[in-house]
Amino acid sequence: MKEVVSKYHPHHLILKKYDFIQFKMSCKLIWVTENAEKLISYCCRVSNPKNQDNENIEGLLKYCIKNGHWSILQMASMCVEINTTRAISSQIIRHRSLNIQEFSQRYQKVEQDLEIPELRRQHPTNRQMSLNDLDEDLVNELQYEIKKHFEASNLLYKRLLSYGVAKECSRAILPMNSPTKMYVSATLRDWFHFINVRTHISTQKECRDIALEIKRIFQEQFPIIGNLLD
Ligand SMILES: Cc1cc2nc3c(=O)[nH]c(=O)nc-3n(C[C@H](O)[C@H](O)[C@H](O)COP(=O)(O)OP(=O)(O)OC[C@H]3O[C@@H](n4cnc5c(N)ncnc54)[C@H](O)[C@@H]3O)c2cc1C
């Protein structure tokens, strides 16, 4: 940590230069339908009983997905754990086909420290994009301000709880970057579309990082179907 004279602060204060810890999202597999791709093909061949155990499934799966026979992907499911922030979980929850259990701030207090967000510049014309080219010193100063802001809100949150204010009321003052944990289960059809939509460049980077991690898990578990993602 070193001291720097601020270029941006109106009174050119001397600020400390930190190596801030960026938010570390994570995802991990909880459970998955066993032999999912084989099972999907078996069910798909319901009208051709003699052929149901046919080991040659790659062509069938590719044909069905290419031609929009999505229902066969609803024969298998996967559940993942996602660790992210409330700002990002609210975007994931919009996918109505996902089945979600999220950490409740009503029943448990938020214990984890809030991590400092990455700061990117707003794209001048595209509202869905941001650019990673802000001045490093400016980012450091702003992250320092954010750190102070988070510490103050954390202190107030703890004070409210210490006076007996309910968790459901106290949480109202927490920033959107509060950590959260979710268990999300969905059929392969719904994961397929979620991954395609949320790995697209128009999705916020932090949400895209999660979708990319889920894509990696998906491709590991379902190599044939996973290779058909965009
Ligand atoms: C970049 C971006 C910006 C957004 N901005 C806003 C905003 O400003 N305000 C807001 O309220 N919401 C916003 N949203 C959320 C968006 O409107 C949807 O609510 C969200 O993407 C969930 O999509 P969905 O309703 O299709 O649900 P999903 O659960 O993803 O899909 C519903 C069903 O449709 C199926 N399905 C999906 N795609 C296909 C497909 N291509 N072919 C066949 N079946 C399909 C799924 O399998 C599922 O069964 C944004 C989303 C994105 C990605």
CA separation for the pair 170, 155 (Å, rounded) = 11
Average pLDDT of the residues in 130-158: 93
Parallel, antiparallel or unpaired: strands 77-85 and 14-17: unpaired
**Residue 7: its pLDDT value, please?**
73
Q: How far is the CA of 197 from the centre of ligand 1 (A)?
A: 7
Q: Whose CA is nearest to atom 3 of ligand 1?
A: 203
Instruction: Report pTM.
Output: 0.91
pLDDT band at 112 (very low <50, low <70, confident <90, very high): confident
Q: What is the DSSP letter of 75?
A: G
pLDDT band at 183 (very low <50, low <70, confident <90, very high): very high
Average pLDDT of the residues in 205-227: 97
Tell me if 151 sits within 8 A of 145, measured CB to CB: no
Q: 166, exposed or middle or buried, with CB in 10 Å at 0-12, 13-18, 19+?
A: exposed
**Residue 113: its pLDDT value, please?**
82
**Residue 14: its pLDDT value, please?**
60
- Regarding the beta carbon of 26 and ligand 1, being less than 6 Å apart is answered no
Q: How far is the CA of 23 from the centre of ligand 1 (A)?
A: 25
- Regarding the beta carbon of 171 and ligand 1, being less than 6 Å apart is answered no
Nearest Cα to Cα of residue 86 among 179, 149, 171: 179
The overall average pLDDT reported for the chain is: 92
- Regarding the beta carbon of 127 and ligand 1, being less than 6 Å apart is answered no
Q: Whose CA is nearest to atom 37 of ligand 1?
A: 193
β-strand partners of 5: 14
In this model, does residue 21 exceed pLDDT 60? no
CA 159 to chain centre: 30
Structural domains of the chain ordered from first start: 25-35+76-226 (3.30.1360.170)
**Residue 132: its pLDDT value, please?**
94
DSSP-derived secondary structure for 141-207: HHHHHHHHHHHHHHHHHHHHHHTT--HHHHGGGS-TT-EEEEEEEEEHHHHHHHHHHHTSTTS-HHH
CA separation for the pair 221, 95 (Å, rounded) = 22
CA separation for the pair 43, 14 (Å, rounded) = 68
Average pLDDT of the residues in 63-69: 96
In this model, does residue 15 exceed pLDDT 70? no
